[in-house]
Structure 1
Amino acid sequence: MSNRLADATSPYLLQHKNNPVDWWPWTEAAFEEARRRDVPVLISVGYAACHWCHVMAHESFEDEAVAHLMNEGFVSIKVDREERPDVDSVYMTATQAMTGQGGWPMTVFATPEGDPFFCGTYFPKANFARLLGAVGTAWREQRDEVVRQGAAVVQAIGGTQLASGPTAPVSAELLETAAAGLAKEHDQTYGGFGGAPKFPPHMNLLFLLRHHQRTGSPEAIEIVRHAAEQMGRGGIYDQLAGGFARYAVDATWTVPHFEKMLYDNALLLRAYTQLWRITDDPFARRIADETAAFLLRDLATPAGGLASALDADTDGVEGLTYAWTPAQLTEVLGPDDGAWAADLFRVTADGTFEHGTSVLVLARDIDGAEPSLVQRWQDVRARLLAARAERPQPARDDKVVASWNGLAVTALAEHGVLTGSADSRSAAIALAEVLATRHLIDGRLRRVSRDGTAGEPAGVLEDYGCVAEAFLAVHQLTADGRWLDLARRLLDVALAHFGTGTGGFYDTADDAERLVTRPADPTDNATPSGLSSICAALVTFAALSGETPYREAADEALKHAAPLFAGHARFAGYSAAAAEAALAGPYEIAIATHDPDDPLLAAAHRHAPPGTVIVAGEPDRPGVPLLADRPLQNERATAYICRGFVCDRPVTDVAELTARLST
């Protein structure tokens, strides 16, 4: 037996390095070994913070008898879906096609050519052992049928990878249909969309915020307010340390699946920051501030960059770090504060979670309470958090993923400029430097790094889109032309190597490793799709640079997302947000000033229409097209407001700028 995972950079693969399974990483050598031995391939896909991945590992992959069946009859390949989203996408499409559902761990049996012929997700140990025997028998005795089924699956999923159906230009009517579709699915009792399990709909919230700004829709902003309040007061939000869990297992946001993902928190940071910008809601501001603090405190890695996730389990137990009983509250806080905290956080004798424990929720509004009550709440939180720090803590997946760090850069940049947070501003720039110097190698992106070293997997389309958008956010933050140039390089690679030839995009480059199909999924799922992220970056870059070919590319790409707006708006939030920006112009605001803290800049940020790009700095600053030929008027800071490359007269007065943007 030879387990080949000890040298992996993926924390998920390293979790399996001591299994008795003869694991291979995803390499061509593994498939060559399967051909040499004339056995099928077993592909197991998961990620480090996945609870049921841990369960299947403990039940089956750590079991000598099950490992023997795997080693005798298969070449077993372990894949980190976060490191190889391209592999995950291909086999998830096959799993959903064959079973009607998907999830992780994902278990795929394939031919030595990689064609999947049987797919599933989690299997209990006894079922998995029987399945191994049945698949092995079918491979030996019914080989032709198995191979034919694999080929048929590949042909079927190959036809679903590109968006099908008629494309259409983005229009106000189409976006109104998307907003109306979300309104129909809105949970009017608990907020969000759909039932249990309930995921934070961050990308839909970003779309609805922009839709409200453009149209004034009261329904759109109310849906956002409702979801934001219910999530922020629910158990899905860490009421002591900040940060959101991956999802709630119920429809009420009470009991979370405890893993905390970087991408969720980055996108939610943007949503709460923008909600506060539009409404001045102190609750939204607090959640945004605490989420930003969580990112920088709990996910920062020593080598730079933000870690991918905190695990769902602690010592193999879900919620061990986070759940409380009334007695535990009293032990930490004393009888009076303990009883008060139990009432405020809805910690009951019966419990809301497991074994008589409760997940902390905020049972009533505290942000607008009298100062003495707020002070008591803050004191109680601090004492409980200090006590919780003495408990065992969840493991951390410390790999740095390019696209997710790109999402964080954009969120922190927005939070920094809108709230004035120096920590968020400096963190956004530092993270962008990590992406520019560590992940961008010879003009191409690497998807992951760990301990300061880039991994081998090539960047996929979402990496190029999210990182380009991040560089554009830092360009606006700093008025440094270097970031605009770096974004251009990434977008040029995307246009040259990921395009379909019909305006759409594949998720992998034309010179990337060839899989059984070339994925091209336009739908947003846990993160923005490659298509939606590249659309957002193209719209922003065109506005900042004034170069119309990039805007034309964005408009053509958005046509491929448009069919989703009418019937599947929940899975097109990020592309719909990009479409809102495109439909609004987007506005381009250049502020010629000698003062980086000029009041015109603050007014522009607080009142800008959806998707507006804003740059402030010295007139004719090199590398900053938006500041070219934009002199100061009468030696006063001057704002130039343009839309679709057409400009209004300059503005030097804050009140006039605010009025102009508000209308």
Structure 2
Amino acid sequence: MAERSNRLQFEKSPYLLQHKDNPVHWQAWGDEAFRAAREENKPIFLSIGYSTCHWCHVMEHESFETQEVADVLNRDFIPIKVDREERPDVDDIYMSALHAMRQRGGWPLSMFLTPDLKPFYGGTYWPKPLFLNVLGQVAKVWREAPGQVFETGDSIVEYLKLQKSAQAEGVGLSEEVFGAFFRQSLMSFDPAWGGFGQAPKFPHANQLSMLLRIWRRTGEPRALEMVKFTLDKMARGGIYDHLGYGFARYSTDARWLIPHFEKMLYDNAQLAVAYLEGFRATQEPMFRRVAQETLDYVLRVMTDPEGGFYSAEDADSEGEEGKFYVWTFEELSEVLNRDELDHFCRVYQVTPGGNFEHGANHLSLAAEFAWAEKDHPLIRSASEKLFKIREARVHPHKDDKVLTAWNGLTIRAMAIGWQVLGDKKYIEAAHRAAEFLKKKLAPQGDLLARFRDGEGRFAARLDDYAYLIQGLIDLYQCDFRPEILSWALDLQRRQDAKFWDAVGGAYFFTDGSDGSLLVRGKEGADGALPNANAVAAANLLRLHDLTLDAAYREKALKTLEVFAPTAAEFPSAFGTLLLAYDYLTDLSSELAVLEGKEGEGAAFFEWLRGGFFPNHVLASAVESADFPPLLQNRRAQDGKTTFYLCRNQTCEAPSRDAAEVLAKLGECARYDLEAGRV
């Protein structure tokens, strides 16, 4: 048997580096570890997590830091560690395998594999005594019944291949799916606290975005009310950080009161967009402010000096979950004057007994106070004092890797933030991030997935391409820089070449070059992140409208067709796909704005960006331009700003009437939510 040691000190992942001093002989995912498993005929113990995962920390402390567990793992297994944020492709396969075993998913993901990487048994977090028992039982079965183990692994892999092999069946979606989505949302909606489902309660940003579009096209007041109520309750709750801003991952209770305290970049990017859209639709000032504060949190805390965006902040500090964020009544009494203390405690529901562990309080805005109460002089002065004190505490660990996919989502959020809020810092941040990604993560043209500590690594997956293309399209919609759209088009060509399934339609998640991945699958449903195929479909529709290239639209239609049967059956799981379908079935507008020399189009853009006009694309230039094709052969007539509006490939006469054009953009293709209901 070859002498092995822990090899994680050679990695860049913050999660893997957290485990580099474990007595477990951890190996990184790769040929060296696979070869050892084959040569020594040992099963692989695969542990997948991420650096800000609370239960990953718990299992490390209870098990992986102990010599007792390490001895068993090192003797009977080849232990491999994977950062799910670096390798979502690996994580997806083995999390799907866990679900196939009829077990609930989560992290840490603990999976046992044959030497040829086929999963045969798994779980998530196991306390040390149970974990030791599992290790003993698995080792025993491996010794005594290896044939049974291989048979199980083979059957699971065949199941996964079947599950992830969606093909176009010639049946598309119909607008009836919007009614089904609305009814499913209504059934799961929490009328007391907002959101969908019960504890633990997660934000569902794309579900809210889809409900806004249903309201826009049907006038259904309940769709709008679900969105408004949920946005209000989340922002008031403890899932929102009232001192430092930004949203935590999820709420442990139905009231949004006590969160799981980790903050993820992708959540904050998606929720910023949800609040921006909520403001566009309702003009509710609270939504505008929450979006602004969330984007400001990302700029202040989650931004690399060179422009990329970091991945996450941990829930734990000093070994305790939430310690950075909570306050005892005694702590507040020591630093606030009497008037500040009394009013702050009323507004944020602070009591001597607390609402969290060990008598601590986590802040949430009391129902009797309006959001504007945050601007009361006593609240402002108290908040400033407490924020300064909190900044001096030991901060939670920050995962400072830059992920292409999540940066794409955040570029989009910053771009839309500039459109709605008008502050140039947001568009500047979006451009800096785009430049960072192009320099560090696309030096040869093809995207890489992760940058950290001077190293770009891992071939990009579909989500990296789709999210970044989406972000670049939204960034182009801000200031119409042709090089931004050109890069988006170049990435789209690369995405098509690497991931498109020319036989069955839609995109594979991986490019097929990694032989260690047992399954090359396609997905259409959302998870914590928007589905990459769904984002890709929307991108294709928008790129078609900007370039007039019919091939983009054909791919979008085929992608929607692939997932249509499942989306029709489970529409609430396909919110992002339905956003693309909403764009397709609406009076989707292509607007070319040729500005006159005086730049009088500025007022029009301000009106447009402040309202809720979701299904359109813009291209603009001063007087004339040849790129993108939407601008070709169009001029500012008589030197005055001229609007060229087309809807569903039918163009209207040029107009100089901004109000008329804006009114037309506000029109939509209406449908009946009850259509097709039995």
TM over 0.5: yes
Distance 1:401 1:108 in 2: 25
Moved more, 94-103 or 24-33: 94-103
Q: Say whether the 8 Å CA contact 1:432–1:474 is kept in structure 2.
A: no
Root-mean-square deviation (Å): 1.8
Give the letter aligned to residue 624 of structure 1: P
Q: Paired residue for 1:603?
A: 607
Moved more, 504-513 or 413-422: 504-513
1:613 is aligned, of 613, 617, 621, to 617
Give the letter aligned to residue 609 of structure 2: H
TM-fit CA distance, 1:435: 1.8
Q: Map of 1:371-410 to 2, 5 A cutoff?
A: 374-410=376-412
Change (3 A) 1:162 1:389: same
Q: Map of 1:73-152 to 2, 5 A cutoff?
A: 73-152=76-155
Give the letter aligned to residue 635 of structure 1: G
Give the letter aligned to residue 548 of structure 1: A
Deviations 1:18-47 (A, max 9, x none): 111101101021111011111110100000
Q: Say whether the 8 Å CA contact 1:330–1:339 is kept in structure 2.
A: no
Q: Paired residue for 2:27?
A: 24
Distance 2:419 2:372 in 1: 28
1:260 is aligned, of 259, 263, 280, to 263
TM-fit CA distance, 1:596: 8.2
Q: Paired residue for 2:477?
A: 476
2:439 is aligned, of 437, 440, 444, to 437
Q: Map of 1:135-534 to 2, 5 A cutoff?
A: 135-163=138-166, 168-364=171-367, 369=372, 374-455=376-457, 457-500=458-501, 501-534=503-536
Q: Paired residue for 1:655?
A: 659
Change (3 A) 1:513 1:221: farther
TM-fit CA distance, 1:122: 0.4
TM-fit CA distance, 1:230: 0.6
Change (3 A) 1:473 1:463: same
Change (3 A) 1:572 1:229: same
Give the letter aligned to residue 599 of structure 1: A
Deviations 1:586-635 (A, max 9, x none): 21122111438611111222345323212332233243323222212332
Q: Say whether the 8 Å CA contact 1:448–1:454 is kept in structure 2.
A: yes
Distance 1:388 1:321 in 2: 7
Give the letter aligned to residue 482 of structure 1: E
User: Secondary structure at the residue paired with 2:235?
Assistant: helix
TM-fit CA distance, 1:316: 1.4
Give the letter aligned to residue 463 of structure 1: D
TM-fit CA distance, 1:198: 0.5
1:562 is aligned, of 561, 564, 578, to 564
TM-fit CA distance, 1:514: 4.2
Deviations 1:519-563 (A, max 9, x none): 322211010122112112112211221111101111110122333
Give the letter aligned to residue 495 of structure 2: A
User: Secondary structure at the residue paired with 1:303?
Assistant: coil
TM-fit CA distance, 1:180: 2.2
TM-fit CA distance, 1:167: 6.3
Give the letter aligned to residue 389 of structure 1: E
TM-score by length of 1: 0.96
Count of residues paired in the alignment: 661
TM-fit CA distance, 1:343: 1.1
Give the letter aligned to residue 93 of structure 2: V
Match status 1:39 vs 2:39: no
Distance 1:513 1:386 in 2: 51
Deviations 1:51-80 (A, max 9, x none): 000000111110011001100111110000
TM-fit CA distance, 1:369: 4.5
Q: Paired residue for 1:535?
A: 537
Q: Say whether the 8 Å CA contact 1:604–1:657 is kept in structure 2.
A: no
Q: Say whether the 8 Å CA contact 1:330–1:337 is kept in structure 2.
A: no
Q: Say whether the 8 Å CA contact 2:280–2:612 is kept in structure 1.
A: no
Give the letter aligned to residue 459 of structure 1: A
User: Secondary structure at the residue paired with 2:6?
Assistant: coil
Q: Say whether the 8 Å CA contact 2:310–2:402 is kept in structure 1.
A: yes
Distance 1:560 1:182 in 2: 23
Distance 1:210 1:441 in 2: 38
Give the letter aligned to residue 637 of structure 1: T
Give the letter aligned to residue 363 of structure 1: A
Moved more, 75-84 or 380-389: 380-389
TM-fit CA distance, 1:164: 7.1
User: Secondary structure at the residue paired with 1:159?
Assistant: helix
TM-fit CA distance, 1:330: 1.9
Change (3 A) 1:370 1:92: closer
Q: Say whether the 8 Å CA contact 2:589–2:665 is kept in structure 1.
A: no
TM-fit CA distance, 1:327: 1.9
Distance 2:462 2:64 in 1: 33
TM-fit CA distance, 1:658: 2.8
TM-fit CA distance, 1:499: 2.1
Ranges of 4+ aligned residues in structure 1 off by more than 4 Å: 164-167, 365-371
2:577 is aligned, of 575, 587, 599, to 575
1:48 is aligned, of 33, 46, 51, to 51
Distance 1:132 1:377 in 2: 54
TM-fit CA distance, 1:148: 1.1
User: Secondary structure at the residue paired with 2:20?
Assistant: coil
In structure 2, list runs of 5 or more residues that go unmatched. Answer: 668-678
Distance 1:255 1:232 in 2: 13
TM-score by length of 2: 0.94
Change (3 A) 1:165 1:187: farther
TM-fit CA distance, 1:382: 1.7
Give the letter aligned to residue 580 of structure 1: D
Moved more, 176-185 or 317-326: 176-185
Change (3 A) 1:208 1:21: same
Distance 2:368 2:424 in 1: 28
Change (3 A) 1:585 1:484: farther
User: Secondary structure at the residue paired with 1:122?
Assistant: coil
2:641 is aligned, of 637, 643, 646, to 637
User: Secondary structure at the residue paired with 2:394?
Assistant: coil
Distance 2:248 2:429 in 1: 22
Deviations 1:400-448 (A, max 9, x none): 1111100000111011012211111111111111122221243321111
Deviations 1:275-317 (A, max 9, x none): 1111110000010000010111110013331100000111210
Change (3 A) 1:540 1:332: farther
Moved more, 616-625 or 3-12: 616-625
TM-fit CA distance, 1:113: 0.1
Q: Say whether the 8 Å CA contact 2:281–2:612 is kept in structure 1.
A: no
Q: Say whether the 8 Å CA contact 1:416–1:422 is kept in structure 2.
A: yes
Distance 1:251 1:49 in 2: 23
Distance 2:333 2:615 in 1: 48
Give the letter aligned to residue 358 of structure 1: N
